[in-house]
Structure 1
Amino acid sequence: MSTPEQVEPLVLGLIKEYLQKKPFFSIEDIITYINNRTRAKPYVNKNKIEKIIKCLIKNRRIIPGTKLMKNNIIEHPIRNEIFNYVKKNPSNINEIMRALNIGSNQVLWHLSCLEKFQFTRSREIENQRVVFLYDSDPELDEIYFYLNQDIVKEIINLLIIEKEPLKISDISNQLKKNYNTIKKYLQVLKELKLISIEKDKKRTLFKLNNNKYDKFKDLII
């Protein structure tokens, strides 16, 4: 008696065959199609077909309502280009558009396909939709995002150069940046434990947490 694992390649092949004829599918239609195509195979029946298809849908290898399948999702050249870019550079929509010179509608469409099939995932950080590889560690998302912000790079580089703990006003003056902007990103870095705070009389000083930073600096693009 054949197991679902043994029948699955046959079902996948017939799904691909079906999708070459029709651009979209419903579960009922494709079960009927596969059942009709396998009548001569006694080890395949409608219940087994349905079980396999539901498993494929659960694992996001196929999705009802689209002709795409997980094994061919990145065959499209633009989708492949976006996927490979995000793989190296988790980015927001605008960054992907600029880097690859692709219009917003195309980027959004291809990203939706990649996300449906769990090649990528996205989350909101500072009102931006940032796209990451699906299998990347979500706990590193914010560290990656902030370490690649220009203002954060400038703050960290200054702390590295100066070596001594600095006040917010020192950092603001040396970088010629707004005091509140510096304060905001120092708070972010503190929450990410990339900097530490020292008290000197009434002054609050900020110092780079070198051990933590060294661990994650390779994430910087």
Structure 2
Amino acid sequence: MSASSNAENVVLGIVREYLSKKPFFSMKNIVEYINNRVRHNPDINKNRIELIIKSLIKKRVIIPGTKLMKRDIIENPTRNEIFEYIKQNPAKNINEIMKAHNLGSNLALWHLSALEKFQFIRSKKIRNQCIFFQFDSDPKFDKFLYYMANDIVQSIVTFMQNEKPLKITEIADGLKKNHNTIKKYLEALIDLKLVEIEKEKSRDLYKLNKERYLKAIKLVNRG
């Protein structure tokens, strides 16, 4: 282990001890506390301690105002289950997470807040819903994942797989869904550039861009 890694581990261990007693800390106080504990260690001085603390905060290993540290977060079984669920099922909203884990809203929000604070997950507002994703997933695929997780959207895409241009009424009748519902999701697919509009006289026909759709699926799976 390098001297730098060893110094960080020493400081981190003392930080854990400090936070178990005082979750609210100032940089000055915690540096003084650690410095007193390592005063016989020639490799660690005040400046180095401060740099390590700032690095730990930047990496969200520790967060001022909470005694929790990053490694504590997923030691909680429920929180770990939620994290794994979001990893495997991106673009879920809080109601879906609550249902999947049989949690009340307050408890679900508490776990999600901790996961987000320590950058295990992130959230985005889509169609007035707070949607959760793994933190290091690519945000450019968020809307794609959100809509592809919708059963009606999946049905529309499957129905349009033959790439034949279709009228909204054909899709709605074929799927036995409301015309306005189909229109709403077609507009979303158009926005994602997965569906194209073709004109036939005065009518709009809708066609799946299968090549773009398959490419998006491939890119998401690769990510």
Normalising by structure 1, we get a TM-score of 0.90
Please give the secondary structure, in 2, of the residue aligned with 1:39. Answer: coil
Q: In 2, distance between residues paired with 1:89 and 1:95?
A: 10
Instruction: Give, in whole Å, the separation in 1 of the partners of 2:3 and 2:24.
Output: 25
Rounded to whole Å, the distance in 2 between the matches of 1:154 and 1:129 is 24
The aligned counterpart of 1:151 is 152
8 A Cα contact 2:199 2:205, kept in partner = yes
Residue of structure 2 equivalent to 1:76: 76
- 1:108 and 2:140 are equivalent in the alignment: no
The structural deviation recorded for 1:135 is: 0.3
* Alignment-derived partner of residue 183 in structure 1: 183
CA positional deviation for 1:46:
1.7
CA distance in 2, matches of 1:25, 1:48: 21
User: 2:129 & 2:23 partners in 1: Cα distance?
Assistant: 32
2:22 and 2:84 map into 1 onto residues whose CA distance is: 26
Residue 19 (1) aligns with residue 19 (2): yes
Alignment of 1:51-90 (within 5 A): 51-90=51-90
Q: CA deviation at 1:205?
A: 0.8
**1:37 to partner: Cα distance:** 0.6
Q: Give the Cα–Cα distance (whole angstroms) in 1 for the partners of residues 51 and 158 of structure 2.
A: 56
CA distance in 2, matches of 1:135, 1:96: 19
Structure 1 residue 173, shift from structure 2 partner: 2.5
Deviations 1:111-140 (A, max 9, x none): 111111111000001111000000001000
CA contact (8 A) 1:97 1:103 kept: yes
Secondary structure of the residue aligned to 1:170 is helix
Q: Deviations over 1:54-94 (max 9, x none)?
A: 11111211101111111232111111011000010121100
Q: Over residues 163-205 of structure 1, what are the superposed CA-to-partner deviations in whole Å (9 max), with x where a residue is unaligned?
A: 5211112222222322222212111101111112222222211
- 8 Å Cα contact 2:167-2:204 kept in structure 1: yes
Moved more, 91-100 or 4-13: 4-13
1:121 maps to 122
Match of 2:212 in 1: 212
Number of residues paired by the alignment? 217
Which residue identity lines up with residue 114 of structure 1 in the other structure?
A: L
* TM-aligned CA distance change 1:23 to 1:106, over 3 Å: farther
| Partner residue, 2:203 | 203
User: Using the alignment, how far apart are the partners of 2:207 and 2:118 within structure 1?
Assistant: 43
Distance, in Å, in 2 between the alignment partners of 1:83 and 1:150 is 23
Amino acid at match of 1:110: H
Aligned partner of residue 97 in structure 2, secondary structure: helix
Identity of aligned residues (%): 56
Q: CA deviation at 1:217?
A: 4.4
Q: Which moved further from structure 2: 4-13 or 113-122?
A: 4-13
Alpha-carbon deviation of 1:5? 4.5
For residue 3 of structure 1, report the CA deviation from its aligned partner: 6.3
The answer as to whether partners of 2:123 and 2:131 remain within 8 angstroms in 1 is: yes
TM-score for the superposition, normalised by structure 2: 0.89
